[in-house]
Structure 1
Amino acid sequence: MFLFHTIVNTYLVQIIHSLGGNDSDFGLSLMITALSELPAMLGFSYLLTKRKSGIWLKVAAIFFVIRSILFLLSGSVFMINLTQLFQGLAFALYIPASTYYVNQLMQKTDYVKGQAFNIGAVTLGSVAGSFIGGWLLDNAGVPEMLSAGIAASFIGCLLLFYSVKTDI
């Protein structure tokens, strides 16, 4: 999922330009993304009173896939900006949910180790996203890069659904 996440965040300016947008459109899109994260991140403790962190991880994974598909289908800067709103249901849910999940899964003496593995996995996805996204952008184009992001987010979603316990 973070392969896709990194592709979109690192190469967003190229995505915007491919749709006829300019640097101002890029800035607006980034602002929309950042603002969409605030409700989920600030309200996550409330969400935990409704469902456990494992459920929120699965919800986030589904929205990573939805967001990746919407990016590919977006034919205008306006549609990209609407798609950016889904960041609040993908990344913004994933980050606090993964932190809570790891802490609930691990024994207290292993919290730091669990968080290190979590961040390590995110970092690996980010490095792969930068490398693969850049290579595809240079050698194929924006649609192919976004298609790879869909495949990666779908595989990540399947792996998450397979491995995450919903009772935590």
Structure 2
Amino acid sequence: MKQNFFAVDLGATSGRTILGTFTEDGLNLEEINRFPNHLIEVGGHFYWDIYALYRHIIDGLKLAAQRGESIASIGIDTWGVDFVCIGKDGNLLRQPYAYRDPHTAGAPEALFARIPRSEVYGKTGIQIMNFNSLFQLDTLRRNHDSALEAADKILFMPDALSYMLTGEM
């Protein structure tokens, strides 16, 4: 029995969708569409254009549907540190900061002034890099970021795109 799975692979500068098909003979992978992933620069900050990424994913799904392919499941893979702030009404509060944005310069040191480095490492086990989610969140907190202050939920990029596709968090 043939079964199709739709994969979204997002990199820092481009993305693609792939149709994976399991048949009795094995797995077949076929690229459906490839697209650019551009950063948006506004006011000295860099953001991911999540709405463009969503549109490209929809384009890939439409191409698969035009071929008459049914999709059993969708998987989304992105870089791991960036997130979207979601308001109480379920709306995205703004475009997500990109990990390349300079707003987290010096962020580890600012956090370590309050919490010892060894304690942070002991709890997270992650390499100390200024763009890690922890440092992004602490930077937004210190800067009284309006999106973070209004956020009811925070979704990492794959989860945010999945939410945009399905309405489910």
Scaled by the length of structure 1, the TM-score of the pair is 0.30
Between structures 1 and 2, the one with greater strand share? 2
Between structures 1 and 2, the one with greater helix share? 1
Structure with more relative contact order (C-alpha pairs < 8 Å, separation 6 or more): 1
Choose 1 or 2 for highest CA Rg. Answer: 2
